[in-house]
Every structure is written in structure tokens, then in C-alpha cells.
Structure 1
Amino acid sequence: MTTDHQLVVENLTLGYGDHTVIEGLDLLVPPGKVTAIVGANACGKSTLLRSMSRLLSPRGGRVLLDGREVHRTPAKQLARTLGLLPQSPISPEGITVADLVGRGRHPHQGIFARWSREDDEAVADALTVTETAVLADRPVDELSGGQRQRVWIAMALAQQTDLLLLDEPTTFLDVSHQIEVLDLLTDLNRERGTTIVMVLHDLNMAARYSDHLVALAGGKIHATGDPAEVLTEVNVRAVFGLDSQVIIDPTSGKPLMLPLGRHHVLSER
């Protein structure tokens, strides 16, 4: 693994049909760090991630990986460096867990698609660290939502890319499994130098587990930087329309947002 890859967004404009979601956005992803993207619903978080991974072509601007436009890079070549876990992925009917995780090895196989010992080891490691090895022979469509999410993360890990983009990786998971998944991703970053970019709804989880926080509002970056600089009462109000109190978590040392309910706010006015 290397932490030297540069993923850069320049003057990016994205949309669907007649609707523009993101306009003129610039972003530099810190290499070798964990970046979390937060914002209100429909602010463009998932749309941005899809374009960064080549799934959505820009209307304007570009996404560069090591100086090369990702939308002009062959998909298989890009997939050796950059992996994506999309929101609500769909698995082929009847596919087993082991087979699905094995598909993460496709970018590394040659023209004759020969399966290697390295492929076996990558799949086994991904199953182990996500605690899904016991599910290896089960059909994916028979799993619970939480089990299925961990299997998809295992597939992304089996791809063994230097950069990993994840759209809501804690979807369908209870609090305990959310912590396990986020611990897993940060361990991957610390131990292998993998650059992580993830979209999260939970502000406190985002602040706790990221080195770099990006807050989107109205299709633009409202604030970006260290979580302590971004997760402030002023920014929470501007991005989410929510009154809050932000304190320092005594355990993690990271900012912790405490929402103020409507009645609580009114009683103080």
C-alpha cells in the first residue's frame, strides 16, 4: 500500500436531468487519511462520491487521480487503485458470500482470469476481518441487512486498493456493528495506509473517526478541515438548520454535537 496517491476534484459540476446537484466544487482528498463527508439529505454527498469513482460523468470540471482524469481511465485499471462501496448495492440472485467477495479480485486478474493463491488469501483475509467467514457458503440474499452490509465491505476490502470510497458503510447496522465497521476502516488506514473517503449521516461518528471532515450544503463545500474546525455550532446550524451545543468528547478528544430540541431552544429565548 502507498499513501502517495492524489485524488483531486476541480470545479466539478454534477446533476441528473435538468437538476444540478453540485456546482463548481473543489476538493483535495488528504492522502493516507480518513475523510468523512457530511451534510443534509440531498446535498450531493452520494453524487460527489459516485463521480469521484467514475460512475457519474461530470457536466463540468474533472476528477483527477494522480494527475489523470478518472473518467478517461479504463475501469479495470482504475479499480486496481480505487475501490467503491456504493449505497444499497445489489448482488446477483443466488450468489454466495464467498463468490461475491471473490468478485473484488476481478481488477487484479489477467486476461485469462486465472485464480491465484494471492486471490485466495485476499478473500480469506477480507472475510476474517469483517467476521463473515462463517457465512461464506450462504446465499447473500438470505442474510440480514447487517450481515449483507458486512459482506459488501468484505468485497471492497478484497479488492485491496490504495483508496477506498464508501457511501454510508454503516447502513442497516446497529450501534455495536457500526463501531466495529468504523474501527475496521480506521485500522485499515492506520496499518496499510489506505486512503478512506466515506459518506456518513451521523455527525458524531464522522467527527470521531475522521482525520478530515467535509461539510456540504447546497451542492457546495460549506466547511472542510480538521473535525474540531468543522463541527461547530455555527456550522451545524448553517448546514443542518439545527441548534446544538458542541463539546469535546472526554474519551476520544474529538468534537461531540449535542442537538438542542425545539422546546429546549424556545425555553431559552
Structure 2
Amino acid sequence: MTTDHALTTDKLTVGYGDRVVIESLDLLVPPGRITAIVGANACGKSTLLRSMSRLLAPRTGHVMLDGRQVHRTPAKELARTLGLLPQSPVAPEGITVADLVGRGRNPHQRLLSRWSRDDDRAVAAALDATHTADLADRSVDELSGGQRQRVWIAMALAQQTDLLLLDEPTTFLDVSHQVEVLDLLTDLNATRGTTIVMVLHDLNMAARYAGHLIALADGGLHAAGPPTEVLTEECVRAVFGLDSLVIVDPVSGRPLMLPIGRHHVSVERARPHGEPGSAIPGTGRGTVPYPRS
């Protein structure tokens, strides 16, 4: 299965108060694929997701879904196609896990309609997929940060939308659960064709799990495309102000970024600033291979 919904921005400018965060952004989200948005803190990643999901109105320009302006589409109608997991969601006090996940079914409820077996199945599947079924009767208030994050992801899955936007879905999760969640999203994309757009701070996880990267910088688009074209030493330096080595990930074959700081650097950088290739003492190899744009 694949979805063919077209989510785009056209000369999008958004901000808060007098501050412009994103200016005149043209963007196309590839349908049926996983896209990761990366960039430095405060570059507009979360703001972009909020605008795409109708939570933040543009100052100028438009967000378009299948040729319709998102901000002129009724909220409940939009929620049947596009779901959002924000960065720090807040649950109603005392609500149980099962009830919270069940709220993901709200967009599918019609006036005077009853809870259906399809709703039961969607909630059960979401709880099982996120390994939170054993928490169903517990209050969300009692959960750890990692457990809460998985419950929120379960609610987003229960919504069963064709497009899913997630703002830092691996927040509060240890590395094991990070991989589990990203594997789960990959399965969702592979089996249902769900278009997934997620903000990730971990560049290497973004490059491994996303087929399309969007790098934001200075309120606009710096680069977009496959990880091998976007995650380069030049891009890391331009977007994050960080020197790095980008090599081939021996596990995934995707780019792997190794940051270079002022300390604990064993690599002899016998090359001019920004020039590819560097010697690794004691390895018998002259240079580190990595994908070139």
C-alpha cells in the first residue's frame, strides 16, 4: 500500500509575535515515504510541523494537502488524514492509558455514533505495537517519561491516518526503545504506506531510518534529498557549525556522522579544513570512506 497525499508548503512564512521563524519556505513531502527534519535548535523544525498540522497559522503563504489549504480545512476532517504527535503533549489529569489512546479515535467518531469493534481493534493494535498493553488500566500520571512517550505514540497510531507528523518521537526513550519506536514507524510505512514526517535531533538515526532528509537553517531550507546527499561534512558544518567526519555506517550502509570536538580526537586531520578524507592511525587504512554528494 502507498498513500498519494501531496503535502506541500508554498512561500510559507510563520513565526511568533514579532519574530519570524520560517520565511518563504517551499517544500514537498514525498508521499508514502519517511522524512526526517533536522537542524540546529530554534531553526524552526517544530514550528514547521505545527504549521503543517494547522496548529499555527501562516503569516503569508500556504500549507497545501491534496491541493487544499490546510488552514481552511475543518479540524476534524483534517485529523482523519493527518495526525500529529507534538513535542510535549499534556494528558488530562487522572486519565488512564486506554482512555488516552482511545482519544486517537475521536476524528473517526460521527455525531451520535457509537464506539465500534473497529475502534477496539485500532486501540488494541496500537497498544500492542508500542508494548503498552500492560499499562492500559494505569493512570498516565503514574508513568515514567519513556512510558508516557510510548503511550502518546500509541494514541497517534490509533488515529490511523495516512500522514503522521511526529515531533521528536524518541524523546525520553533509552536507545533500545528509540530503535523500537523507529522500527515500528518503519513497519507502519512499509505495511500501510503511511507517510511519516518526524523531527529528530539524532542525525545518525535520521539518516538510518528516513529515506528523505530536510535540513533547515536560518529560517529556510538548506538541503533536501536522500541521506547520502544531505548528510555531508559540508552540510553539518553549515547547519550546525560543527566539524565532522561522515563515513559509511557499517550496519545500514547509510551515512554516519562522527562529530569532531576539541578533545578526545584520535583522528589525524592531515587535510585542509573541509577537504574529504583523513588518516586513521593504526588501522592500516589511509582514509575514511563516506558518501559524497
TM-score, shorter chain, exceeding 0.5: yes
Partner of residue 219, structure 2:
219
Q: Is residue 170 of structure 2 the alignment partner of residue 170 of structure 1?
A: yes
Partner of residue 147, structure 1:
147
- What SS is found at the alignment partner of 1:49? helix
CA distance in 2, matches of 1:250, 1:171: 25
CA distance in 1, matches of 2:59, 2:114: 38
Q: CA RMSD in A?
A: 1.4
The Cα shift of 1:113 comes to 4.0
CA distance in 2, matches of 1:265, 1:44: 34
CA distance in 2, matches of 1:19, 1:137: 43
The Cα shift of 1:21 comes to 0.3
CA distance in 1, matches of 2:240, 2:2: 36
| TM-score, structure 1 as length reference | 0.98
Report the structure number with the largest CA radius of gyration.
2
| TM-score, structure 2 as length reference | 0.90
The C-alpha deviation readout for 1:102-129, integer Å capped at 9, x for no partner, is 0000000110141001000000000000
1:121-132 mapped onto 2 (5 Å cutoff): 121-132=121-132
Partner of residue 208, structure 1:
208
Q: Is residue 119 of structure 2 the alignment partner of residue 119 of structure 1?
A: yes
**Count of residue correspondences:** 269
**Which residues of structure 1 form unaligned runs of 5+?**
none
Partner of residue 259, structure 2:
259
Q: Which structure's residues are more often helix, by fraction?
A: 1
The Cα shift of 1:32 comes to 0.2
- What SS is found at the alignment partner of 2:92? coil
Does the CA-based 8 Å contact 1:169-1:198 persist in structure 2?
yes
Partner of residue 189, structure 1:
189
The C-alpha deviation readout for 1:1-33, integer Å capped at 9, x for no partner, is 641110011110010000000000011000000
Does the CA-based 8 Å contact 1:243-1:265 persist in structure 2?
no
Partner amino acid for 2:62?
Answer: R
Partner amino acid for 1:261?
Answer: G
Partner of residue 249, structure 2:
249
Runs (4 or more) in structure 1 with deviation over 3 Å come to 263-269
- What SS is found at the alignment partner of 2:215? strand
The C-alpha deviation readout for 1:144-164, integer Å capped at 9, x for no partner, is 000000000000000000000
CA distance in 1, matches of 2:234, 2:62: 31
CA distance in 1, matches of 2:267, 2:127: 50
CA distance in 2, matches of 1:266, 1:233: 15
